[in-house]
Structure 1
Amino acid sequence: MEKKSPIGIIGAMEVEVNSIIAKLSGEESDSIAGLLFHRGELEGVPVVVAECGPGKVNSAVCAQIMILKYSPRLIINTGVAGGVGVKIGDLVAAECCVQHDFDTTAMGDPLGTLFLRRGGDSEDILKLPCDSGAREVLLEEARSIYGGAHAGVIATGDIFVADKEKNRWLGEKFGARAVEMEGGSIAQVCYMNKVPCAVLRAISDSANDDSPVDFPSFAKETAEKSAELLIRAVRKL
């Protein structure tokens, strides 16, 4: 029987991937560009797991290496985020991602519009799509783990949002349900390479004035729930 291509899993922080790596059977690792890629099986399914580091460039580099080296059939970006109109302890699975800090409005473009090339053609895109089938599987499993599980827009930028007005604006401008620093860039790389992706964010804070205090307290707990979710869902993906 032909072995399936792996599922790729990327988290920005050690706490977001350690619980998954610990569950791998036959774990081996490769070091590429200073990043460690852990290969093995999770519930009998081949996976490759990496900690990319925070921010859009780190996560894009990691995703592109993962695609070129391991040819994953799906990339899942998991981690924690600030919630926009959702509760701490909930989960948001992206319908799409936007990059809220990409700004060429001075040239007349809508805020967040990206300029991509695919197959030699140029394309303007605001909402980076995520795979609907993977999202539904993950949401189904999430409903028994989290206080609430939501599908919606995830907003990405190289900013740790800790401001009530910025939080409100992201919801109004983009319809965002969560704000973080990696999902949109991973979704962009997957879109350019025609690889399906899913972006999951457990809500660890409210992306407001209290965020720097809330974040360390909730990150470990919410990341562990995300690991439990992936362990349950991976055989259905």
Structure 2
Amino acid sequence: MSYLGRTLALALLSPGATLAQPLDSEPRIAVMSAFEPEWTTLLADMAEPQEHVLNGIRFITGNLGGKPVVLFLSGVSMVNAAMTTQLVLDHFNVEGVIFSGIAGGVDPALSIGDVVVAAEWSQYLESVFARESPDGSFALPPWMEPSGIASYGMIHPQAVGVMRQGSETVEQLLWFPADPEWLKVAEQVAGRTTLEDCGTAGECLAEAPQIIVGGKGVSGQAFVDNAEFREWVHATFDAQVLDMESAAVAHVAYANRVPFIAFRSLSDLAGGGEGANQMATFMDLAASNSAAVMTAFLEALPD
């Protein structure tokens, strides 16, 4: 055997080496949430669940909303979300990716409990932390092109380079789209889906929740509970909602050319509320509302 052959054989036999092998061949929709409170309802509603474990992550195949799905938790954060999305695409026959979970609201017109199904997502912390000038401003390096997105102090958001199958050049993208056909289905179910306004522990919303299909969401590696930063996000990105995973999932789905959509219900106002952050109070209610809209979406999807 040649040196190259021996090296390849040893690499394939080593404990750290993994090859993408299908764990399940049936075409399925990947349904993901960030952490356990977001998927409790979904897991309970799964028909014929079967568990697969990969890299310590539980992937549950079965039927949800009458559709074959693979359900799993991404873990909180952009890196976890991107990693697990690619993992499910590599090891299952995935026809599209759906995210269901909670988020912070950044649009003053929205309230806790509302569900947002954004049409596009941006990674607002894909940024340059700029050097401070003598006059107190923060300037990009002279060789760097501005993105056209207004900065927040030293934070200058930038586009991210993306390679995908069939592309010969790196695309520089600020926004990653939800699938337009899936958005149409979401619009159809929005008008006939009822949201809860009181949780199981007796906590109730001040206003009846609504479903918003369209608009924009942003994601980043920070939990935001700051009124000033919230205002900048809304004004700069015209965003309705902010979270820590959706844009990363949209990025991976775009690179792999598979449909993507995210259902996010507001558990808090990202620092915009009058008192302390209310995520712990309304997390279960928001997660249930997101799951309700997402399940109705699955039921309405054409076979």
TM-score of the two chains, using structure 2 as the length reference: 0.73
The amino acid that maps onto 1:149 is: I
Partner Cα separation in structure 2 for residue 212 and residue 19 of structure 1:
27
* TM-aligned CA deviation for residue 209 of structure 1: 5.9
The amino acid that maps onto 1:117 is: M
The amino acid that maps onto 1:216 is: A
Provide the residue aligned with 2:290 in structure 1.
226
Which SS does the other structure have where 1:97 is aligned?
A: strand
Provide the residue aligned with 2:180 in structure 1.
132
Counting aligned pairs with the same residue, the percent is: 27
In the TM superposition, 1:28-107 aligns within 5 A as: 28-85=50-107, 86-104=110-128, 106=141, 107=144
The amino acid that maps onto 2:101 is: G
Partner Cα separation in structure 2 for residue 11 and residue 124 of structure 1:
27
Question: 1:18-55: per-residue Cα shift (whole Å, max 9, x none)?
Answer: 21111111101111122111100113310011111100
Question: 8 Å contact 1:157–1:180 — kept in the other structure?
Answer: yes
Partner Cα separation in structure 2 for residue 148 and residue 208 of structure 1:
20
Greater Cα offset, 82-91 or 100-109:
100-109
Give the unaligned 5+ runs of structure 2: 1-24, 129-139, 148-156, 196-208
* TM-aligned CA deviation for residue 75 of structure 1: 0.6
* TM-aligned CA deviation for residue 4 of structure 1: 6.7
The amino acid that maps onto 1:122 is: V
Is residue 2:194 matched to residue 1:145?
yes
TM-score of the two chains, using structure 1 as the length reference: 0.93
Question: 8 Å contact 2:267–2:282 — kept in the other structure?
Answer: yes
Question: 8 Å contact 2:225–2:277 — kept in the other structure?
Answer: no
Partner Cα separation in structure 2 for residue 71 and residue 126 of structure 1:
28
The amino acid that maps onto 1:224 is: S
Q: Which runs of 4+ in 1 moved over 6 A?
A: none
Give the unaligned 5+ runs of structure 1: none
Question: 1:152-194: per-residue Cα shift (whole Å, max 9, x none)?
Answer: 1111000111001111100111111000000000000000000
* TM-aligned CA deviation for residue 148 of structure 1: 1.6
**Greater fraction strand:** 1
> How many residues are aligned here?
235
Provide the residue aligned with 1:108 in structure 2.
145
The amino acid that maps onto 2:159 is: T
Question: 1:101-136: per-residue Cα shift (whole Å, max 9, x none)?
Answer: 001454224223101112342110111111122123
* TM-aligned CA deviation for residue 140 of structure 1: 3.0
Provide the residue aligned with 2:169 in structure 1.
121
Partner Cα separation in structure 2 for residue 183 and residue 70 of structure 1:
20
Q: Which has the larger radius of gyration?
A: 2
The amino acid that maps onto 2:293 is: L
Please report the RMSD computed on the Cα atoms of aligned residues, expressed in angstroms.
Answer: 1.8
Given candidates 279, 294, 299, the residue that maps to 1:215 is 279
The amino acid that maps onto 1:188 is: H
Provide the residue aligned with 2:131 in structure 1.
none
